[in-house]
Amino acid sequence: MNKFYIETFGCQMNVHESEKIAGILSGRGLYAADSAADADVIVFNTCCIRDTAEKKIEGFIGELKALKRADPSKIIAVTGCMTQQIGRAEALKTRFPFIDVILGTANQYSIAEKIDRILALNKRKTCIEVLSDEKPCIREDVPILRTSYPNAWVNIMYGCNNFCTYCIVPYVRGRERSRNLSDIKAEIVSLLDAGYSEITLLGQNVDSYGSDFSDGTNFYGLLKELSTIKGKFRLRFMTSHPKDLSEDVIKIIADTPNFCKNIHLPVQSGSDAVLKAMNRKYTRDRYFYLIDLIRRYMPECGITSDIMVGFPGETERDFADTTDLVERVRFQNAFTFVYSPRAGTPAADMEQLPQAVKKDRITRLVALQNRISDEISLEYLGKTEEILAEDSPRPGVLVGRTDSGRLVSFGGEKSEIGKFFNVKINENKASALFGERV
């Protein structure tokens, strides 16, 4: 056993957890392979946020059968949110008996131990370990093999207590658990010492950081502590929840030069009736209030969002409320998507809208948001922005984000990744910005 390959599906949380799995496997002397075919250990870190995503992943797992048949010594492991659903691990085992190990989200840290056990067995059978504890302990001792230099992901909390009616996350990730503030700060300081220039704090709902502590620690307190870290770096976070984002948090972002003026604030719908049915626990007025606050403290802030159409019961009037909100807020970018029922969530049992209605609404919403994103892109033309250089697949080209979160491409060499450059933005092609260093 000397090479591993990890295929990651889903959100940044999973991307970062794959960095931890890679760290554990590297610690055991394995190194990364370029493909599953070339690897001795293949890990699928899965997502179950949508039914379609799960079906696609099952298709990919099915394709591993041929690899396993050609080389039965390969170890195949499946972990992530998909395995954490009730009865899912057993179903995977039945459908794909060639999987060697199935681990829940809180069990993936034992992957090396499981590999050892599999290697010690003569006859293999699928080993399943899925912890059902709603509050598994936080592990602080996990090695991490980071893959996103110059950015580093840092978990500040795990799980979610919100139970939005369309979302499976609270069922597969358990209740909110916050990391100790001192552990978070120490990790960030050591990352900056190691040369990382951008830190992205991760949590399903970062604004409720600390709510599981009894000493008053909260997200503002964490940011205040992080604002004392000396030196030049960038700090972003995801994801905020409109019911919890506070004026204190907005103000400290505005007041701290190292904190990026970029907030991702998922609105999901502009209709109060739909927001209520989604159990989002805020109103459109509250959302407008937050946008006003952000713009008052940081007129230059890049605000992005997630917007869903076709939620059960959404009327044409509700949809008009969403497009009205989008027109008024003018998001820099938005992830727009069609609601699809997720088994095990309350909304899956509600009466569903016809596909044609959903399709028509998403087409209109995408056209609206594209127009707005394009108009905002034009506002960048001629401006000089500070960009942190990141890798790009094109030779001689680097990409990077403005403080407000817009991606910009410009000329540069790989040796310059991780440096800050002033870039004059001079071209906008289909909302993609291009510039040159000045």
**DSSP calls for 317-382:** HHHHHHHHHHHHH--SEEEEEE----TTSGGGGSPPPPHHHHHHHHHHHHHHHHHHHHHHHHHHTT
Q: Which of residues 133-162 bind ligand SF4 (CB under 6 A)?
A: 160, 162
By the 8 A CB rule, do 399 and 407 touch? Answer: yes
* Size of residue set near ligand SF4 by CB under 6 A: 10
User: Which residues, in sequence order, are bridge partners of residue 6?
Assistant: 43
Q: What's the min distance (Å) between Cβ of 6 and ligand SF4?
A: 23
Closer by beta carbon to ligand SF4, 20 or else 173: 173
Q: What's the min distance (Å) between Cβ of 241 and ligand SF4?
A: 6
Closer by beta carbon to ligand SF4, 136 or else 150: 136
User: Which strand (E) or helix (H) includes residue 170?
Assistant: helix 169-173
Q: What's the min distance (Å) between Cβ of 38 and ligand SF4?
A: 35
Name the phi and psi angles at 299, rounded to 5.
-60, -25
By the 8 A CB rule, do 85 and 344 touch? Answer: yes
C-alpha distances out from residue 200 to 90, 141, 153, 196, 305, Å: 35, 20, 5, 11, 17
Q: What's the min distance (Å) between Cβ of 160 and ligand SF4?
A: 3
205, 304, 369, 373: residue in contact with ligand SF4 (rule CB under 6 A)? 205
Q: What's the min distance (Å) between Cβ of 350 and ligand SF4?
A: 16
What residue type is assigned to position 210 of the chain? G
Closer by beta carbon to ligand SF4, 176 or else 321: 176
Closer by beta carbon to ligand SF4, 50 or else 65: 50
46, 79, 108, 204: residue in contact with ligand SF4 (rule CB under 6 A)? 204
- The Cα–Cα gap between 81 and 402 comes to 32
Q: What's the min distance (Å) between Cβ of 10 and ligand SF4?
A: 12
Quick note: the x/- pattern for ligand SF4 over 159-178, rule CB under 6 A, is: -x-xxx--x-xx--------
> Coil, strand, or helix at residue 59?
helix
Q: Which of residues 223-282 bind ligand SF4 (CB under 6 A)?
A: 241
Closer by beta carbon to ligand SF4, 108 or else 205: 205
Give contact residues for ligand SF4 (rule: CB under 6 A). 160, 162-164, 167, 169-170, 204-205, 241
